[in-house]
Structure 1
Amino acid sequence: MNIDCYSITEEDFINEMEPNNNDTFDEYFLDSNLCVSTMIKKYDVPMLDNNEYMKKTEKKNLQCTVCGARAFGYNFDRITCESCKAFFRRNALKNIMELKCRFDGNCDITIENRRFCTYCRIKKCFAIGMRKEWIRSEQEKNKNRTIKQTKRRLQISILRQPEYFNSLTILCSTDRISLNNITHCYDQYTSEPSIVDYCAPQEVLSLRLHDFYNRKKPIIINLISYFKHLPDFQQLNIDDQATLIKRNIRILLPINYALLKTPSHSQIRYTYIQTIGCINNINLHSMYQILSNTFVPFVTFNPLIIKLLLIILFFTTNLLSTNSDTVEYKQSKYIRRIQSSYIELLWLYMIKKYGQERAVNLFTQFITRFIYLQTKIAQIDSIIRLNNDMQYIDSLMKVILQLS
């Protein structure tokens, strides 16, 4: 069995892709024959040069909603320039009653005079909807900094162990069988459920949050089924099995979506989903889109790597680094041994196929994107918990989303 399902050049893979907001996960339901590698062509994904990898694309034509200066994105839930972002962080937590306007209390805040009146500038920040509760405390900043530093040290320590690489020289027959079994098992159990005679009812489908997640239940059940059929998972204590599923499945959904197939039917009228009732009118559907699209280049390059990484991440006892809750696993050491065995298999495969330098490059890019995914999943968790509609969600989905 050929484990190299797709093949593109290294240069194509390393180039970063821009997410396309017209994509929709529900399109995946419509065709069982078209492979995910066509996503790049279908959405005409632009590529960046190698030396621009990991550089954020400059957002043009944005204006600060406070002073009108050039802006580059959202800060504290509103589009602002860097100056107003820093100003808000410094002053939003102060008592506004202690400030005074030297004029009539209704200054017009512009890029030229924004420094003249602190009172009117902070008043305008609040008036346009900037959120002071989103300002992180020093304790939160230090915690986040510590998490990132720990991850970097761990990554560097793994990649600098020469004996680790020296031991990985050949793929034995057992390793090849394991790789083929992983591919076969994933393809057998995680294929998306089909919808017969599907017809999009309208261009934009507005869904309450519980309806949005209930529609995803079949895909989640299939992903759980895949992990349940792994022999290593079956050897775990039943409580540990349940805990891994409960804590990790929701975090892996965007990566799993990148692995799934996507249609390209020009004659089909697709549905774009807008989640309604979320705080600040956030569209969770779009958030999942963007997260999934960041992993599509990996899938297009070599889906087996992502299938192995899914297993490695699943056998992690604290996958969401922003979660301070600790869970005691009955077989924590055994879980770590399982994870280590799959890490070794991944390294063995990548080094044999691509060489050490390229394997390190691939791993580094994946870790960088996964850290970003972790922060976004933590934000999604917060949005979900603030939504009253979640009381109507399916009982299994409550468990997966950690609402019960």
Structure 2
Amino acid sequence: MAFSEDTSTNIGTYDVVQAFKNSQLCKVCESENARMNFSVLCCPPCKVFFRRNAQMDLNTNQCIYDGHCDVTVKSRQICRYCRFKKCLSVGMQRELIRASHGPQNRLRVNNKQLATKISSINISRNRIIFSLGVIPTLNLLRNDRSLLTVEQWSLLSNVVNVYDAKSPVANVRNILSIQSSFPPKIRLKIAATNMMDIIGSQFVAVYSFVEAIPEFAAMPPSGQATLMERNILNTGGYSGVVIFREAGVCSSEVFQNGFLSKYGSQLTNEVTKVIGRTPMDLTLLKLLIPIVMFSTCSDVVFPVIKNVDRDNITREETGFLPNTKHLLKIQNIYVEIMFKYMIYRYGYDEATMRFAGIIKHFLDQSMCSKHANEVQAHAEMVETIVIESERLLISKDRIDQ
């Protein structure tokens, strides 16, 4: 009994001490040595950051990571937008920033005056030229780019921007909105049809997205058609994870009634769990899509051997794709970008865990895609999209010739 009482006392003392330490942390980045600044406990770096960025307009500035950056001691320099937004969310007040009267601070002018009236300022004997306009966020991070090169940053941004441009999320939201406007009986009748339209749009969007990737566009039409047929099942399925998450499909009546009626309760539960475990950083998922598309053996466990003749497209399908070395080289480009991006955002240890988590998440989704393809309506829909994609590829090639 004495031992039990001592243990309880020790635990209670530790909790109190830990709670006291936590109360002294910076409310923005959770670093130590926090002091009360602008009505909030914050560390000196966050105090300086808030003062320097007090004139930032969150309506005109944007976050390159969808506005969901984690602000910690290690990552606080990554995104200026999210850090300043958190400063405001924890209660830091611009009104408490007092104008200083020192000889150097007299030269400080707010950003609007700098952008409209001043092109250069003399400070003592040196003349510093300030270029006007908004400075891109990436230019502020030259020392924080980790292993990513400028070309890799550009490729990463292009992949995300192209995916967002081709994504059917807006159309999916419109389908869900129209569905909710009908009476209950009609909603129940059209739920399955709307659900199949949503799923079909995610596979069609994959074709639009992939054809904009330079490495895919440089391939011959036969290679493009082969990749589409072999990898669209998993690529379209994983793209659907992003679309379902962004459009809120799983919480809709269309999914709860339409998906259930088409695919059954077991697959409905599996899909719901996979969507619920989707990583918050959707940039990683968007990077994974070209990695899967350039895979040489996504269905190697179930190899398909058949002769295909569709509109002058004749080839033999086997368990492996031709020119595998070239495809692996392309795939490695995006794998390298993904892992460097994760190191850049989360550090090496957490990046390793996140990378493993994404692979596990993809494998879980792949099983959902496999089970979905066992439903005849689903398999026929995917096959129709593949055939139409092949026709488009061949017709474009003939036009180019």
TM-score, with normalisation over the residues of structure 2? 0.49
TM-score, with normalisation over the residues of structure 1? 0.49
The structure with higher relative contact order (CA 8 Å, sep 6+) is 1
Richer in helix (by share):
2
